[in-house]
Structure 1
Amino acid sequence: MIEKTTSILEKYLPKQAAPIIAQWIYQAPCMFKISKNRLSKFGDYRSPFGRKGHRISINHNLNPYAFLVTTVHEFAHLKTWNEYKSRVKPHGKEWKKNFKLLMEPFFNGEILPPDVRAAVTTYLGNPAASSCGDLTLFRTLQRYDQPRAGFVRVEELPPGAAFVLPNGRIFRKGEKMRTRFRCTEIHTGKVYLFSPVAEVKRDVIEHH
């Protein structure tokens, strides 16, 4: 069974990393789901509740290195929950310690290319709540994405430009806050915060 899981994971992870992650899934144990793309997050962890055990989901469309970093991030939550339950902060010092510990096997051999290894090393100095919250790491991981025709990053759009999400929702780019851009959904007038590196499509029709 673990061999089948490893085989499936090899489609999403660097090949050398797949058996390590498969082992984690069975040791936990946890329900590991490869999910549809979610703009707001790369992955998530849910602690045991009722009859359900540990659950982790990772977006299917991440490149192998982004998939790996996100998976380790979520397993660090699982390990921290096993040790402390809900008595500590989700991204406190306990989680940071576990994230660093769980990343160690992937620095061996040739699993990570040099630029990703360097970016992850810097990130491990003080891991953020999300790998996409660290723009240096995110941009490094993004180099390994397959190019998507017609997509641009929010930070590349001029102020006031309209853009479209894959689900058809249309937004107008507003001012930059500390790390994210305030963008208004044109249909509802609601304001949402977008990461500078979120990939969207420029809307060619001018909306007023």
Structure 2
Amino acid sequence: MKLIQNFILFLPKVIFCKVLDKEQSIQVLNKYFLEHISPLIFDIITENDFYFKVTKKRCSKYGDFKPLHNGKSKITVNNDLDKDHFLTTFLHEFAHFKVWQKVKNLQNPHGELWKLEFYNLLNEFHNQGGFSVGLSEQLLKTFRKRNNTISFSKNKMSEILSRNISEDVRFLKDLSPKEQFIDSKGNAFEILEKRRTRFLCRNIKTKRLFLIHGLFKIKTI
């Protein structure tokens, strides 16, 4: 019986480290991916040398890749993402893992090699029907326009994701410095400045500073 030992659920205040069989693991993965691609995700996790964690929501990022001291690596994805966004975030971080396996270097994390890996993964899962119809149509248009796959970037993927979301949803990137907003927990922030794809924001109550991604969903004050 094939076991998945490197799938770890990370929940608020509790860490579960379970050894599950394939059927149990796929049932868990079905919560985050379309059911027909969960077996493909299972194979990726079990056939590669990284830990996979589903984490609680983080304001500063949707996912993360990190090499560990024991020779393994860790991929994390936030648990509050819809299935399209969860898959693209997972593939984004898995592309980092694949680059790390080749060059063992994170100095240029979104360079040409990463762009090619990310593009190829998106194309593969698009062909497998891993995305919703709306996002698949956007990806297909993008693939047809791009003869040079190297030019496909994480910013282009973020743009496609934002177009695929309901028009009544507002993102942090829609605001300007000095504007204020509220997150899903009711915390109020003020934007101080933009830094590439993230914004430096100050919690109005605690005065703490946060770097928050431009695609963070917000409510304006």
Task: Give the TM-score category using the shorter length.
Answer: 0.7 to 0.9
Distance 1:30 1:4, change over 3 A: farther
1:8, distance to aligned residue in structure 2 (A): 0.8
Give a deviation string over 1:80-129, Cα, whole Å, max 9, x none.
Answer: 1111111762111111121122223312253323431243353866343x
Q: Does 1:63 find its partner at 2:82? A: yes
The equivalent residue for 2:99 is 80
Q: How does 1:176-195 map to 2 (within 5 A)?
A: 183-187=201-205, 194-195=212-213
Tell me, yes or no, if the aligned pair for 2:115 and 2:150 is still in contact at 8 Å.
no
> In the alignment, is residue 12 of structure 1 matched against residue 35 of structure 2?
no
Tell me, in whole angstroms, the C-alpha distance in 2 between the residues paired with 1:175 and 1:90: 23
Counterpart for residue 165 of structure 1: 183
Residue type at the aligned position of 1:201: K
Counterpart CA distance in 1 for 2:213 and 2:106 is 30
**How far 1:196 sits from its partner (Å)?**
4.7
Q: Between Structure 1 and Structure 2, how many residues are aligned?
A: 195
CA contact (8 A) 1:77 1:90 kept: yes
Matching residue within 160, 171, 183 for 1:153: 171
Q: Secondary structure at the match of 1:3?
A: helix
Q: Does 1:22 align with 2:46?
A: no
Please list the CA deviations of residues 8-32 of structure 1 after superposition, one character each: whole Å capped at 9, or x if unmatched.
1111111122111110100013211
- Counterpart in the other structure of 2:139: 120
**Counterpart for residue 206 of structure 1:** none
Helix, strand or coil for the counterpart of 2:139?
helix
Task: Provide the C-alpha distance between the structure 2 equivalents of 1:88 and 1:193, rounded to a whole number of angstroms.
Answer: 20
What is the identity, as a one-letter code, of the residue corresponding to 1:106? F
SS at match of 1:201: strand
Q: Which has the higher strand share?
A: 2
Tell me the residue number matched to 2:22.
2
Q: 2:60 is aligned with what amino acid?
A: S
CA contact (8 A) 1:2 1:26 kept: no
Letter in 1 for 2:90: T
Contact 1:30 1:56 in 2 (8 A): yes
Determine if contact 1:33/1:58 at 8 Å carries over to the other structure.
yes
Unaligned runs of 5+ in 2: 1-20, 144-148
Q: 1:196 and 1:54 mapped to 2: Cα distance?
A: 26
Q: What is the CA–CA distance in structure 2 between the aligned matches of 1:81 and 1:3, rounded to whole Å?
A: 30
Q: Which moved more, 1:98-107 or 1:38-47?
A: 98-107
Instruction: Give matches, 1:70-109, under 5 Å.
Output: 70-86=89-105, 89-109=108-128
Gaps of 5+ in 1: 204-208
Structure-2 change in CA distance of 1:154 and 1:18 (3 Å): same
Where does residue 52 of structure 2 map in the other structure? 32
TM-score when normalising by structure 1: 0.74
TM-score, structure 2 normalization: 0.70
Change (3 A) 1:186 1:29: same
Q: Is the 8 A contact 1:31 1:55 kept in 2?
A: yes
- The structure 1 residue matched to 2:68, chosen from 25, 44, 48, is 48
1:66 & 1:52 partners in 2: Cα distance?
A: 28
The CA RMSD over aligned residues, in Å, is: 3.4
The question of whether the paired residues in 1 share the 8 Å contact of 2:177 and 2:194 is answered with no
2:171·2:215 contact (CA, 8 Å) conserved in 1? yes
